[in-house]
Amino acid sequence: MELTHTVTTNARAMTVAISLFGSLAGGANAAISITNFNLSETSVTFDISGTFLATPPPGMFSCLFFANPDIAADPGFTVSNNLTATSASFSGTQALRSFSPSATGAAITNYGDYFLVAFENDFATNEAINGSFSATWGTPTFTPSAVNSLDVYWGGNTALPDLQVIESGVLLTTVQVPEPTSALLLGLGSLCAAFRRSR
């Protein structure tokens, strides 16, 4: 009987410890998940789902920033400043901003190494999101091999200077940027599998 009580108590303590660690490690914001992320020289695609649980940032509530962990990287993974995507779409209920659905940050320290996705309306705490995003640019805009991962921020305080605007936002998650060769091999593998099934 005592053994059962001890095990139960230890299990509860472990659960509390894990919950606390999750909160300290940004677990409170981990309700947003970004999967199937792919970055090429002229395109970005990903799936996003979850709920915005964190307290809204001071401003730019409608924007998601995909930033190099070294946001001052120069050269970074973006090759030009303020290039708006030639086409962009989102399959979820939220509409993309019509005049600038997606634009790149500059690969210089004045602006930072990032790209942003702008929606028509601000996101609110406890708002759910679910859909697939796709954007293309008419000219080479990214160097995927120049970055391994991207930190995804929600919002940013426009009263702050330069790079601090983005880093003042809520850190939602970090996505891994697949190497171009890996993405190509993955695509070829899927194509081969589909071909084998059709035979």
Query: How many residues would you count in the chain?
Result: 199
Single-letter code of the amino acid located at 151: D
Q: Which residues pair with 88 in a beta bridge?
A: 135
Residue 176 has pLDDT above 90, yes or no: yes
Q: Which residue, 64, 68, 40, is CA-closest to 52?
A: 64
Domain ranges of the chain: 1-28, 31-198
Give per-residue pLDDT as tens, 70-88.
998 888 999 877 889 999 9
Category of 24 on φ-ψ map: left (φ > 0), alpha (ψ -120 to 50) or beta: alpha
Asked if the model's pLDDT at residue 195 lies above 50, the reply is: no
pLDDT digits (tens, 9 = 90+) for 44-56: 999 999 999 888 7
CA distance 185 to 99: 35
Percent residues over pLDDT 90 in the chain:
51
